[in-house]
Structure 1
Amino acid sequence: MVYGYPSENVWELDLQRFGALQSSRTFLRHRVMEVMPLMYDLKVPRWDFQTGRQLRTSPLYDRLDAQGARWMEKHGFERPKYFVPPNNDLLALEQSKTFYKPDWFDIVESEVKCCKEAVCVIDMSSFTKFEITSTGDQALESLQYVFSNDLDVPVGHIVHTGMLNDYGGYENDCSIARLNKRSFFMISPTDQQVHCWAWLNKYMPKDSNLLLEDVTWKYTALNLIGPRAVDVLSELSYAPMTPDHFPSLFCKEMSVGYANGIRVMSMTHTGEPGFMLYVPIEYALHVYNEVMSVGQKYGIRNAGYYALRSLRIEKFFAFWGQDLNTLTTPLECGGESRVKLEKGIDFIGRDALLQQKQNGVYKRLAMFILDDHDTDLDLWPWWGEPIYRNGKYAGKTTSSAYSYTLERHVCLGFVHNFSEDSGEEQVVTADFINRGEYEIDIAGHRFQAKAKLYPVISFFTHKRRKDDVELSDFHGK
């Protein structure tokens, strides 16, 4: 135990990963009957439960389902994985589960390409959403103590921040928009709904003038991704949406079509240009229809979470529950910008981060680009693969995806520095990462990989367009 916390990640055993929605006798009876045989089965990647489905759905569920959406489930919420074109065999595609190249590869490629060249819509309504308001400064003061970044920002600004424990590890990774001087809008991962609520209630003062409200069900969230997203919203809002008028990480309420009060945020969770639209649920279908109608001239299409996964991993975006957990600190994953140690108020985890900043980190999140991996013939990396540095075990991957831009598999994972004599962990520096030769072990076969501490997509794309260099040239830089 460190600071009273487990020495291993125990999220999979935490009861707060469940909610009241999973407590019905019918749900439990059917889910338990499905779970028990799986203890002796080999689950393929991206495997989904078959029971307890269609429990929580977006208002757009039927509309998206009719357009070929294939579904995954998260915290009881149905989320689109990808959209099957009309001429594909839906049944055959749904049954094609494998450790090798999946049949949805080309479908996701077309969605990713559309996100990069035109505009796509991803229904992300499942994200947890809280509002924190007060009559005075109670909301700001409470959030400043619970979160690591500085939330005393001008109205309309969005802050990426961590909700840390005393160890400095992530209890939650989220985005918070300041709606006005006394009101904040918080967006968190889907499976954080119960855990985050409990954590905030634990550390926020019991004050009748301070209100914490779960508004997850009140808003449909549409992620409008791509360079033409600005054109679509400009037509629908009759307001300038260019960076000069609507800078990055900014939030404002505006009209979209006939609907008022749409919270539009200049962020996408993928690194691509675009906007998040938080739409009051009664306007969801209207706003979606308007976006799709106006977007036709710009090549708009639906996309799913598999495309989002590919985009965010190639941009080196770490996600909570996959790459980040209660034992991961911001200093270990390049999240220094989400911490303000000198913001003028103490916050949970600050002392641990100050100590870690002084002593150094004992693991570091890195991006690995596979060199000699054959996408068509070799087993794919999914997550949990061993990482070898100079032939020695150095950690394991936390998530991976095929990058359609790099035309290579990209893995994220933590690198450790184990002593050859005692096996104890030692400080990991940027120089230690950069000087190593790496391999990723996939089912007993090691593939060479290049380790990077910063995203490389923008550089690669520029070089590719300019002089059509080979990927091997890029890897040497």
Structure 2
Amino acid sequence: MKTNVKALVIGGGAVGTSIAYHLARAGWSDVMLVERDELTSGSTWHAAGLLPLFNMSYATSHIHDYSVKFYKTLEEETGLNAGFAVVGNLRMAQTQARMDEYQLYASTAESVGVPYEFLTPDQIKERWPLVRTDDLEGALFHPTDGYINPADVTMAMAKGARQRGVMIERKWQADGFEWKGDHWDVTLTKMVEKGGNLVPSDEQIIISAEHVVTASGNHAQRTARMLGIKMPAIPVEHQFIVTEPDPALVDYRKTHGEHPVLRDADAKWYVREERGGWILGPYELNAPARFAYGVPDSFRADLFPLDLERIEEEYMSMIHRIPTSETVGLKDDFNGPICYTPDGNPLVGPAPGLRNMWLAEGFSFGITAAGGTGYYLAQMMVEGEAEIDMASLDPKRYGEEWMTTDYAVKKNEECYEHVFILHHPDEEREAARPLRTGPAYDRQKALGAQFGCVSGFERPNYYGPKDAPANFDHDARSFRRGDWWQYAVNEAKAIREGVGLIDATAFAKHVVTGPGATAFLDQFTCNKLPKVGRINLTYALTGAGTTRTEYTIVRLSEDEYYLVSAGAWAAYDRDYLQKSIEDFMAQGGAYVALQDVTTQWGVFAIAGPKTRLVLNELVRDGDPETVLSNKRFPWLSMRNIELGMCPVRAIRVAYTGELGWELHHPIEMQNYLWDQLMAAGEKHGLKPVGARAQNWLRQEKSYRAFGNELGRDATPLEADLPRFVDLSKDFHGKAAMEETGIRAKCVTLLIDGPEDADPWGREALYDGETKVGRLTSGGYSVAFGKSIGMGYVTPDLAVPGTKLKVRMQGALWDAEITEDSPYDPKNEVIRKDG
């Protein structure tokens, strides 16, 4: 057994074997995979093998699409039939809301290139007469997917990996990881059979690996403890049942091909054909999480006791939808662990705080995602970055300072039961909330705030009625303009016409200081560094030249910088900063210190033409008429001021594009400052404003958002931000950025859409019949009285005045590319003097 390898993959399920295969295919010749038991002995063996293509996540959609295409090539390469039945997938809808959801799915699929068609109830009945359709609105059919045999596809990938030189070793358990500065020493223990159990022997070996990938499935918590990290990958029970042959189905098959996979999302189940019978897989309420602290040694390819009463409702609804199944007996049943994460997306990417340690954990749809995960993770490891933006799957989206075992258990159970719940783009799930709250939370709640959750923080999305019932926001959601929409409109108008107050406390905030701080940040970011007391917007790039992180940098002194970035990415940004600082110092750079001060500073953003009138009521360090003037406090500058008794680090910048300031304040004084601002603003009509209105307003200014327009699949130049890139200096990723060129370009569009809907930022863009791009953001513009969006198109079309079409609610609507910053393009409003 070899003891020195380039990459060691831990876990022999579908995900692990795919990663090993793709690393070898990408050119790494020294790859080893170890499995503590037999290949497929984890969740792979009892998976139903479904391959659902559609997903709201752009990255996950690409991963699933790659898997489906890849699995179809395995037999030719390996000689092993992966058991892929391309029977199609029929997603049925009982309500118009569900059809609206499918329309959004479909538009996302178009941007990826996944085929589909919509069917009426009559068309469904004509093709598949066993399905009851009288209470359906319609269905979405995607013909290129179906189901696969999980064991067969895993074995085919394993054979393909071996053919490419991968070493696969079974019955070896990873029992320790030690970083040696340039490689990992991984302690493996030989596992042996004893009394039907698998137990460790006295035989151990140490494997030295430059890179390690963990794909340990249900054993993720054990892996996390050994690595000294946290990850919210915890299994949940999943039951499915197999029926005896259905005579009607057997008769149908005499003259027809295999039945497609059926999904009745409103009934919370999937059904597929199995040897003349049916497999029913429900996603019911109250399925419990298991193995929160690790898998017992006695648990191998085992199952849990059944709880059929828990799925009785779903079973009866299958009989309703497929009436011929009523008299069919049950042949087999399963209840096994399937790993989940709080948002249902896996954890794929670098482990927090560790070097050359890669996670591929938390796969609730592991068979579907295995192929694509191996492909894109191999790109990240071998080439430094994937061709798609994988940030939405990054393990650091759950910060270790707030993600706990109880949190993961509650959220994973909730995620399981939400598999078939309507996935509104504005959905906010309630489990484990509120968790992280700013001091002003109760005051905001009393004013009708309806909260969203960002990095565990509660943040107002909009302010509804003060006496709103507990389920107000839930009932207000829609794929169109829900009942929340008018509240957001009023808030956006308040900022454009008067003055609004936004709680931005969730912003990530870091201090970089020390004798090497300036030199470090100069090569770490692509823009000029600001002078003392000034600010700059800038970007840290990946090695591929794409955008890794967006920062607002405030220079507090010669060697002290205050960095503000997106609230949803605090742990992600901190990890990258820390590792980059370590690299800088290891290469001879002077000392740099990093401090995460996110929870020490609250942030209120106040904006609108009446902003100075409100702040002048509270300024205590000079003549109110001059303290906030352009002369003393110009745009893109910072000053320490006093508002009443509260010291404030005031930054003259506004994400809404209006005259405004960000008021960074000691978190313990937040309630005092909130009360002072609300009292001072009362006679000026100050209105509390939520994140949705802010999102609309920033699109009117063409302000790019990280995770939307900005990401690891586009350079700052492709984002059309040359003004924030200083090509006269050297910085990380510069050469790759210039070599990449302009593959697509970010634009802002005004859209003449339907009267009752706006884009969400997932829609495909067309030039005639040709797909030319996709939206990355969407919403409503109060300045122009129509829908607005931002997105990427081919460079030749990125010209103001270009007429395009955007897919919304199944139809193509007129859209026109506008100039950058269509509202106040010369920034006269934001620079307005007082």
TM-score w.r.t. length of structure 1: 0.87
Establish whether residue 363 from structure 1 lines up as the match of residue 744 from structure 2.
yes
* Shift of residue 324, structure 1, vs aligned partner: 1.3
In structure 2, the CA distance between the partners of 1:266 and 1:459, relative to structure 1 (3 Å rule), is closer
1:160 corresponds, among 534, 537, 542, to 537
Quote the Cα distance in structure 1 between the aligned partners of 2:798 and 2:708: 24
- Cα distance per residue 1:57-93 (max 9 Å; x no partner): 1111111111111100011010001112336666445
Establish whether residue 235 from structure 1 lines up as the match of residue 612 from structure 2.
no
Establish whether residue 397 from structure 1 lines up as the match of residue 742 from structure 2.
no
Q: Which residue of structure 2 aligns with residue 323 of structure 1? A: 709
Q: Which residue of structure 2 aligns with residue 199 of structure 1? A: 576
Quote the Cα distance in structure 1 between the aligned partners of 2:601 and 2:702: 28
- Cα distance per residue 1:424-448 (max 9 Å; x no partner): xxxx24x664574310011320001
In structure 2, the CA distance between the partners of 1:147 and 1:461, relative to structure 1 (3 Å rule), is closer
Quote the Cα distance in structure 2 between the aligned partners of 1:433 and 1:268: 26
* Shift of residue 253, structure 1, vs aligned partner: 0.9
2:454 corresponds, among 74, 77, 92, to 74
**1:78 aligned counterpart, secondary structure:** strand
Unpaired segments ≥5 residues, structure 2: 1-378, 829-834
Q: Which residue of structure 2 aligns with residue 469 of structure 1? A: none
* Shift of residue 386, structure 1, vs aligned partner: 0.8
User: Residue type matched to 1:409 in 2?
Assistant: S
* Shift of residue 123, structure 1, vs aligned partner: 0.7
Establish whether residue 353 from structure 1 lines up as the match of residue 737 from structure 2.
yes
User: Residue type matched to 2:552 in 1?
Assistant: S
Task: Give the stretch that moved more between structures: 209-218 or 2-11.
Answer: 2-11
Please say if residues 21 and 76 of structure 1, whose CA atoms lie closer than 8 Å, have aligned partners that are also in contact. no
Establish whether residue 144 from structure 1 lines up as the match of residue 554 from structure 2.
no
Please say if residues 57 and 77 of structure 1, whose CA atoms lie closer than 8 Å, have aligned partners that are also in contact. yes
Establish whether residue 278 from structure 1 lines up as the match of residue 656 from structure 2.
no
Please say if residues 22 and 28 of structure 1, whose CA atoms lie closer than 8 Å, have aligned partners that are also in contact. no
Q: Which residue of structure 2 aligns with residue 290 of structure 1? A: 676
Structure number with higher relative contact order (C-alpha < 8 Å, ≥ 6 residues apart):
1
Quote the Cα distance in structure 2 between the aligned partners of 1:459 and 1:129: 29
Quote the Cα distance in structure 2 between the aligned partners of 1:185 and 1:94: 38
In structure 2, the CA distance between the partners of 1:308 and 1:96, relative to structure 1 (3 Å rule), is same
In structure 2, the CA distance between the partners of 1:226 and 1:380, relative to structure 1 (3 Å rule), is closer
Quote the Cα distance in structure 1 between the aligned partners of 2:782 and 2:483: 15
Between structure 1 and structure 2, the one with the greater Rg is 2
User: Residue type matched to 1:259 in 2?
Assistant: C
Quote the Cα distance in structure 2 between the aligned partners of 1:31 and 1:22: 13
- Cα distance per residue 1:251-288 (max 9 Å; x no partner): 0111110123x100001111111100000112211111
* Shift of residue 96, structure 1, vs aligned partner: 2.1
Establish whether residue 173 from structure 1 lines up as the match of residue 550 from structure 2.
yes
- Cα distance per residue 1:182-205 (max 9 Å; x no partner): 110000001221111111111213
In structure 2, the CA distance between the partners of 1:77 and 1:141, relative to structure 1 (3 Å rule), is same
**1:332 aligned counterpart, secondary structure:** coil
1:245 corresponds, among 632, 638, 641, to 632
In structure 2, the CA distance between the partners of 1:259 and 1:458, relative to structure 1 (3 Å rule), is closer
* Shift of residue 290, structure 1, vs aligned partner: 1.2
Quote the Cα distance in structure 2 between the aligned partners of 1:450 and 1:296: 39
Please say if residues 402 and 410 of structure 1, whose CA atoms lie closer than 8 Å, have aligned partners that are also in contact. yes
Quote the Cα distance in structure 2 between the aligned partners of 1:347 and 1:230: 38
Q: Residues 213-232 of structure 1 correspond to what in structure 2 (within 5 A)?
A: 213-232=595-614
Q: Which residue of structure 2 aligns with residue 446 of structure 1? A: 812
1:100 corresponds, among 454, 459, 480, to 480
In structure 2, the CA distance between the partners of 1:435 and 1:243, relative to structure 1 (3 Å rule), is closer
Q: Which residue of structure 1 aligns with residue 754 of structure 2? A: 374
Quote the Cα distance in structure 2 between the aligned partners of 1:252 and 1:265: 7
Quote the Cα distance in structure 1 between the aligned partners of 2:428 and 2:711: 22
User: Residue type matched to 1:456 in 2?
Assistant: P
Quote the Cα distance in structure 1 between the aligned partners of 2:545 and 2:666: 35
Please say if residues 801 and 818 of structure 2, whose CA atoms lie closer than 8 Å, have aligned partners that are also in contact. no
Q: Which residue of structure 1 aligns with residue 140 of structure 2? A: none
Quote the Cα distance in structure 2 between the aligned partners of 1:461 and 1:144: 27
Please say if residues 52 and 76 of structure 1, whose CA atoms lie closer than 8 Å, have aligned partners that are also in contact. no
Quote the Cα distance in structure 2 between the aligned partners of 1:6 and 1:195: 17
1:256 corresponds, among 619, 639, 643, to 643
Quote the Cα distance in structure 2 between the aligned partners of 1:435 and 1:245: 39
- Cα distance per residue 1:85-105 (max 9 Å; x no partner): 336666445412211221122
Please say if residues 156 and 177 of structure 1, whose CA atoms lie closer than 8 Å, have aligned partners that are also in contact. yes
Please say if residues 366 and 452 of structure 1, whose CA atoms lie closer than 8 Å, have aligned partners that are also in contact. yes
In structure 2, the CA distance between the partners of 1:459 and 1:276, relative to structure 1 (3 Å rule), is closer
In structure 2, the CA distance between the partners of 1:183 and 1:21, relative to structure 1 (3 Å rule), is closer
User: Residue type matched to 2:758 in 1?
Assistant: W
Quote the Cα distance in structure 2 between the aligned partners of 1:294 and 1:31: 40
Unpaired segments ≥5 residues, structure 1: 417-427, 463-477
Quote the Cα distance in structure 2 between the aligned partners of 1:322 and 1:213: 27
* Shift of residue 37, structure 1, vs aligned partner: 2.8
- Cα distance per residue 1:362-415 (max 9 Å; x no partner): 1011112112x2323xx4321211100132101111110111111100011110
Q: Which residue of structure 2 aligns with residue 116 of structure 1? A: 496
**1:286 aligned counterpart, secondary structure:** helix
Q: Give the RMSD, CA atoms, in angstroms.
A: 2.1
User: Residue type matched to 2:749 in 1?
Assistant: F
Quote the Cα distance in structure 1 between the aligned partners of 2:592 and 2:802: 51
Please say if residues 405 and 461 of structure 1, whose CA atoms lie closer than 8 Å, have aligned partners that are also in contact. no
- Cα distance per residue 1:297-319 (max 9 Å; x no partner): 21112111011011011211110
Establish whether residue 306 from structure 1 lines up as the match of residue 306 from structure 2.
no
- Cα distance per residue 1:211-239 (max 9 Å; x no partner): 10000010110001111111222231144
Quote the Cα distance in structure 2 between the aligned partners of 1:104 and 1:96: 6
TM-score w.r.t. length of structure 2: 0.51
Q: Which residue of structure 2 aligns with residue 425 of structure 1? A: none
Quote the Cα distance in structure 2 between the aligned partners of 1:19 and 1:432: 37
**2:513 aligned counterpart, secondary structure:** strand
Q: Which residue of structure 2 aligns with residue 455 of structure 1? A: 821
User: Residue type matched to 1:444 in 2?
Assistant: G
- Cα distance per residue 1:33-78 (max 9 Å; x no partner): 0112333343012011211211111111111111111100011010
Q: Which residue of structure 2 aligns with residue 475 of structure 1? A: none
> Aligned residue pairs: how many?
438
User: Residue type matched to 2:817 in 1?
Assistant: A
Quote the Cα distance in structure 1 between the aligned partners of 2:636 and 2:779: 26
**2:422 aligned counterpart, secondary structure:** coil
User: Residue type matched to 1:368 in 2?
Assistant: L
Please say if residues 415 and 433 of structure 1, whose CA atoms lie closer than 8 Å, have aligned partners that are also in contact. no
In structure 2, the CA distance between the partners of 1:294 and 1:107, relative to structure 1 (3 Å rule), is same
Task: Give the stretch that moved more between structures: 222-231 or 436-445.
Answer: 436-445
User: Residue type matched to 2:540 in 1?
Assistant: M
2:565 corresponds, among 171, 188, 205, to 188
